[in-house]
A = this chain, B = another copy of it.
Amino acid sequence: MSTSKNKLDTELVRELAEILSDANLGELEVEHEGLRVRVSKPAAPAVPSVAAMPAPAQNAAPPPAAAVSPDENRTGETPAPDETNAVQSPMVGTVYLSPEPGAKVFVHEGDKVKKGDTLMLVEAMKTFNPVESPRDGTVTRILVSDAQPVEYGEPLVIVS
């Protein structure tokens, strides 16, 4: 894992991703001198791969508590919000909406925030990690509740 590679690769990857997007491709793979890069679009929600993908847990009848992770259940209850401007959890942990129990929450829906403002905390292994706003904007939706466990990449809040 040489670090020099990382820098130079990401440039290439960015460029390939642009091409993918521009040319409206599904997948793109380049291999050259020991380096291989593949970029692909997420499978569109319409296509046959869904049908072809058996869902053992759902089909299999009485599995205890169904093989769906808790958070998937949760978001399943309400119509999925537009997550394009969502701030995602940078880590696995427990999310807190206020600095300490009983204190005021960092932000409410409708609040204006600046880039770098703390939106919430994620606690993992006894350390509290601030989740900062990536941009100036308005908090249009808070997607999690206080003290809820979150996984990596889980949308927490929408700032648009």
Residues of A within 8 A of B (CB): 1-6, 8-49, 51-52
Contact = CB atoms under 8 A, between A and B. Distances in A.
Given A13-B19, A17-B28, A1 B34 contact: yes
B6 A15 contact: yes
Given A1-B8, A8-B3, A34 B32 contact: yes
Given A26-B40, A48-B48, 16 more contacts: A1-B33, A17-B22, A25-B39, A25-B42, A26-B42, A28-B39, A28-B40, A31-B31, A32-B35, A41-B42, A42-B43, A42-B44, A42-B47, A44-B45, A45-B47, A48-B51
Contacts of A44: 42-43, 45, 47
Copies of this protein in the complex: 2
Contact of A33 (B2, B12, B48, B51): B2
Given A1-B8, A47-B42, A48-B43, A13 B30 contact: yes
The interface centre, meaning the residue of A3, A8, A9, A15 with most chain B CB atoms within 10 A of its CB, is A9
A32 B19 contact: no
A36 B39 CA distance: 13
Contact of A5 (B21, B29, B35): B35
A22 to B, nearest CB: 8
A112 B20 CA distance: 46
Given A31-B37, A45-B46, A48-B47, A11 B17 contact: no
A115 to B, nearest CB: 31
Contacts of A38: 27-30, 38
